Structure 1
């Protein structure tokens, strides 16, 4: 039986070899420039007169090891708040987007209310929302004692659901109206059309923006420390007040970075995948 495998031509072989050489050259150049930059930064720090004091104040190995366990324990609270907030923001943000894109006259009061909500919440700094929810709700003395962790989670959900709702709304509006019409002609209800046809297509187009917002939310959950929650940031503050050293804040920063790196890589990978599909003429 004859071998029908297509063999590349000499021109194609030369092209592949050229692209491989260019790729290797780019990698070598990137590595060299990175090494040069790191060397320049190291030299610049060492020739700075105040570097020894800064190193001891922010990068002390002794205080790093000493404060790490308590800060890591506090980070677990941040992770719990983040998990609950992601679920709450996804649900509330989707409801906001659905209401804002609805054309039903019956939902006009809700559309007006949701429009006002997104406008106000996107204009208020996150720290102010935390103060209003964290100290305002207990001040009403209606619900009894509420954990500051719960109040902080509510504030994060309320703040970020406005941003997520607007991102999703843009994605919903980006779906061609013919998709809705086709779904309705097949007998799908309005709810089924949104759930089966609109939302999946909208998520693909706005996924990078959504991931960026969730990465920002992952950092902002550290602000719940303003309500007295002993999370990673608050634990770092306590350790710093005891030792008069800022290394615990660096420890907290490193832990937050490690927490966000997987999401950042996922966002970059998915954005590159979408870009490659668009450039190749594929359907996004």
Structure 2
């Protein structure tokens, strides 16, 4: 009976896969026919899907994408550190820590509510405008600072949710073993909190991958700005499509990693 069940499940799985494949092909064919039969399709194809324009713009866009990747890696590391710090400050207990909690809460409220593009303008043009000694004027550095400030507020709330999801009995057990607050957070709370919020954390970093392209508004020659320059010289929008596809290819592995982490967490919790 067990073999029959397994054979039935395999047959159902093969049939479901075949149906999904056929339906996908039919949908793609209908969508392709609907787009290509439009009266303006030849003009759109020439303006947005020109192979020659894509080949000419590819080296510059790839060089700009490498800048986006470097900004992403550095910002991710800084956001993780700052996010954990702010989350830990928000979870401090006792009236003596109220000013610290209020400061951390105000930081989160400010940068979660402030649109990223406005923060980029404020940091990118406001800080150099002060003309203080030591203030950088590099658009890449200033754009990275704005990204870290905004995304650390989101990541701090993700970490705080994970910290508060740890059952109070875990804290009581750690205190009964003689651990102070700092060691309890480091040994008991944070390892459990990080495992629980990993899918949400990865989703935030997928969003960060896209938003790294916004540093182009400050003049940094990343993939978006390289596409803009190529489009302005060729009077063709294909470089924008090329840059968008490269960003999608960069984000897909992270998205699949986030899905895998969510499924793994669900299996560990007995939900799947």
**Do these two structures clear the TM 0.5 threshold for a shared fold by scoring above it?**
yes
- Pick the aligned partner of 1:247 from 238, 242, 251: 238
Corresponding residue for residue 209 of structure 2: 218
Corresponding residue for residue 67 of structure 1: 57
Size of the aligned set, in residue pairs, is 271
Corresponding residue for residue 6 of structure 1: none
1:12-51 matches, within 5 Å, as 12-51=2-41
Deviates more, 1:203-212 or 1:124-133: 203-212
Shift of 1:144: 4.5
Q: Residues of 2 paired with 1:192 and 1:146: CA distance?
A: 40
Q: Residues of 2 paired with 1:242 and 1:175: CA distance?
A: 56
Given the alignment of the two structures, is residue 89 of structure 1 paired with residue 79 of structure 2, yes or no?
Answer: yes
Segments of structure 2 that go 5 or more residues without pairing to the other structure are none
Corresponding residue for residue 195 of structure 1: 186
Shift of 1:145: 4.3
Corresponding residue for residue 168 of structure 1: 159
Q: Residues of 1 paired with 2:66 and 2:137: CA distance?
A: 20
Corresponding residue for residue 256 of structure 2: 265
Q: Residues of 2 paired with 1:49 and 1:279: CA distance?
A: 54
Corresponding residue for residue 106 of structure 1: 96
The superposition leaves residues 265-284 of structure 1 with CA deviations (integer Å, 9 ceiling, x where unpaired) of 11111112222333368xxx
Q: 1:159 to 1:280 in 2, by over 3 A?
A: closer
Shift of 1:258: 1.2
The superposition leaves residues 237-270 of structure 1 with CA deviations (integer Å, 9 ceiling, x where unpaired) of 0100111110000111111111111111111111
Shift of 1:228: 0.4
Given the alignment of the two structures, is residue 80 of structure 1 paired with residue 70 of structure 2, yes or no?
Answer: yes
Secondary structure at the aligned position of 2:162 is classed as: helix
Shift of 1:117: 1.0
1:133-152 matches, within 5 Å, as 133-142=123-132, 143-152=134-143
Mark the structure with the bigger radius of gyration: 1
The superposition leaves residues 101-149 of structure 1 with CA deviations (integer Å, 9 ceiling, x where unpaired) of 1103332111101111111111111000000100010011113542111
Q: Residues of 1 paired with 2:271 and 2:27: CA distance?
A: 35
Deviates more, 1:56-65 or 1:263-272: 263-272
Aligned residues: CA RMSD: 1.2
Query: Structure 2 length as normaliser, TM-score?
Result: 0.97
Q: Residues of 1 paired with 2:234 and 2:8: CA distance?
A: 58
Deviates more, 1:203-212 or 1:139-148: 139-148
